[in-house]
């Protein structure tokens, strides 16, 4: 007979067997859910080539899909695995350069694999049509450079004299549509020029009474467009100069005999009313030898010092002014070593100053030598040019007598010592029936 305890145990065992299929079903659910996990998404695929599918061409890939994944590519005919990098969220890019050993064409399949959270999604793509044709690159349009800014011509209409009220008319030819102006150094700056025709500019300036023109500094024109600037200096003179300069006060004088080997060959340039002598044009030849390089040359005078052998010597000096007018002067002198016992020429010599010397402001003392007891008549003339106006003034007129040794002296003081003023000192020595003349040229020192 079965007890109550035994009957309860059988019921529990039967219930356990009845529940075993349910437990099995519950245990299998997680595995089924894991098998049905959603695969990572691979949205798009792009490929491009810079030279078709020829060896050396570079393939560029772009894949869009789930972020933070691993993306690889395999191309049929290529042995290497191509790994793409995530360059932006969910965007993967990479390149591959085709090798000569690769065997690919338009029909080669491309398998893209995207792996995320231990799940891989793979999709097969094809090359786009006509990718095997090299890309024809069109040349970029040429960069248009701005035309060079330049001044083709800058001229002035010359005038007869640089005097107050005279008008200087300038003309400039260059790029149209610019801003043009000119400067006269020491006188005026930034004078505007008007564009009267495309690329042709004109401007003028009327000379004032106090203007001080600097011959050594030319007028300069400026042309501007934006931040581009070009300048050009005026190469022609302001004055219409048709007269050549004159060579004066040469020493030794023509036919003169000087004692001793030391000779000083000098002369002055006079271009009164002109534009002045160009020192670069001066050429000095002594006895057939060009001594220009060994000479002191300025726009006002020239000097050559040398030891010359006894005998007759020739001098030839040529020069041109800034207007192109040329002057030539030639003369002879003689170098002697013995003084004749009874000179037939009355000597007259300045011992204090060299010809063409510069003197400071104030009184100037001139000393000289002639025959004892001779009478010396002295006349000093001052000449200067201010804004084209010539100023001439007699500074001294005096008669003096040489002492027992033939020495004499005199002094003069100009009333208005302008820098650059030239003083012509004319001296005439007389004793009995002998007479001698000499001229000394001095210049007022600048500054």
Rg (CA), the chain: 53
How many angstroms separate the CA atoms of 173 and 191, rounded? 16
Query: Residue 165's beta-bridge partner residues?
Result: none
DSSP per residue, 166-202 = -EEEEEEEE-TT-EEEEEETTTEEEEEEEEEETTEEE
In terms of Cβ atoms closer than 10 Å to its own Cβ (0-12, 13-18, 19+), residue 61 is buried
Say what the pLDDT of residue 368 is.
93
How many angstroms separate the CA atoms of 189 and 180, rounded? 12
Tokens linked to 95: 């390149």
Domains along the chain? Answer: 42-126 (2.60.40.1930), 151-233 (2.60.40), 244-339 (2.60.40.1220), 344-447 (2.60.40.10)
How many angstroms separate the CA atoms of 112 and 91, rounded? 13
How many angstroms separate the CA atoms of 124 and 140, rounded? 37
DSSP per residue, 257-317 = EEESSEEEEEEEEE-TTS--B-GGG-EEEETTEE-GGGSEE-SSEEEEEEE--SEEEEEEE
Determine the 3-state secondary structure of 34 from DSSP. helix
Strand-pair category, 283-286 with 289-290: antiparallel
Low-confidence ranges of the chain (pLDDT < 50): 1-2, 4-6, 9, 12-35
Residues 6+ apart with CB under 8 A from 7: none
What pTM was computed for the model? 0.40
Instruction: Give the residue among 202, 144, 209 at the shortest CA–CA distance from 173.
Output: 202
Kindly state the helix (H) or strand (E) to which residue 7 belongs, with its residue range.
helix 4-35
Q: 51-54, long-range: CB within 8 Å, 24+ apart, which pairs?
A: 51/134, 51/135, 52/131, 52/132, 52/133, 52/134, 52/135, 53/98, 53/104, 53/105, 53/106, 53/127, 53/131, 53/132, 54/98, 54/132, 54/134
Tokens linked to 97: 């350069």
- Phi, psi for 279 (deg, rounded to 5): -60, -30
Say what the pLDDT of residue 237 is.
80
CA 426 from chain centre, in angstroms, equals: 50
Q: Give the CA dihedral 190, 195, 201, 203, nearest 10 degrees.
A: -50
- Phi, psi for 12 (deg, rounded to 5): -65, -40
Say what the pLDDT of residue 192 is.
96
C-alpha neighbours within 13 Å on the C-beta side of residue 208: 7
How many angstroms separate the CA atoms of 118 and 68, rounded? 12
Say what the pLDDT of residue 91 is.
93
How many angstroms separate the CA atoms of 310 and 344, rounded? 20
CA–CA–CA angle 186, 191, 196 (5° rounding): 145
Say what the pLDDT of residue 138 is.
63
- Reported in sequence order, the residue ranges of 185-255 that DSSP labels E, i.e. its strands, are 188-197, 200-206, 220-225, 228-233, 246-251
Tell me the average pLDDT of the chain.
84
Say what the pLDDT of residue 12 is.
47
């Amino acid at each position: 007979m079965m007890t109550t305890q035994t009957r309860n145990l059988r019921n529990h065992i039967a219930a356990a067997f009845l529940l075993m299929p349910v437990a099995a079903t519950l245990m299998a659910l997680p595995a089924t859910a894991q098998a049905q996990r959603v695969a990572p998404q691979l949205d798009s695929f792009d490929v491009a080539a810079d030279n078709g599918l020829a060896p050396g061409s570079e393939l560029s890939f772009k894949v869009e899909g789930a972020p933070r994944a691993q993306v690889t590519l395999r191309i049929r005919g290529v042995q290497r695995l191509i790994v793409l990098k995530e360059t932006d969220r969910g965007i993967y890019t990479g390149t591959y350069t085709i090798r000569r050993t690769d065997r690919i064409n338009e029909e080669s399949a491309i398998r893209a694999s995207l792996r995320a959270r231990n799940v891989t999604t793979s999709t097969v793509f094809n090359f786009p049509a006509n990718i095997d044709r090299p890309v024809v690159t069109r040349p970029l349009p040429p960069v248009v450079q701005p035309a060079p800014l330049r001044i083709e011509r800058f001229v002035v209409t010359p005038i007869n004299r640089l005097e107050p009220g005279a008008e200087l008319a300038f003309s400039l030819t260059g790029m149209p549509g610019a801003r043009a102006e000119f400067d006269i150094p020491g006188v005026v700056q930034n004078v505007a020029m008007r564009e009267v025709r495309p690329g042709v500019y004109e401007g003028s300036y009327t000379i004032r009474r106090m203007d001080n023109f600097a011959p050594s500094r030319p007028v300069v024109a400026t042309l501007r467009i934006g931040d581009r600037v070009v300048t050009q200096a005026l190469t022609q003179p302001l004055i219409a100069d048709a007269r050549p300069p004159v060579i004066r006060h040469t020493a030794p004088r023509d036919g003169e005999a000087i004692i001793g080997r030391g000779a000083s060959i000098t002369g002055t340039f006079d271009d009164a009313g002109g534009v002045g002598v160009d020192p670069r044009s001066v050429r000095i030849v002594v006895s057939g030898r060009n001594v220009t390089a060994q000479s002191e040359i300025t726009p006002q005078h020239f000097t050559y010092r040398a030891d010359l052998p006894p005998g007759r010597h020739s001098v030839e000096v040529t020069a041109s002014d800034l207007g192109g007018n040329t002057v030539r002067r030639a003369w002879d002198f003689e170098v002697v070593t013995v003084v004749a016992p009874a000179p037939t020429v009355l000597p007259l010599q300045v011992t204090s100053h060299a010809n063409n010397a510069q003197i400071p402001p104030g009184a100037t003392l001139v000393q000289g030598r002639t025959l004892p007891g001779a009478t010396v008549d002295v006349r000093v003339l001052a000449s200067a040019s201010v804004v084209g106006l010539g100023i001439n003034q007699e500074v001294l007129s005096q008669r003096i007598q040489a002492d027992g040794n033939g020495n004499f002296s005199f002094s003069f003081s100009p009333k208005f010592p302008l820098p650059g003023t030239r003083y012509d000192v004319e001296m005439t020595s007389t004793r009995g029936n002998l007479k001698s003349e000499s001229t000394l040229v001095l210049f007022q020192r600048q500054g």
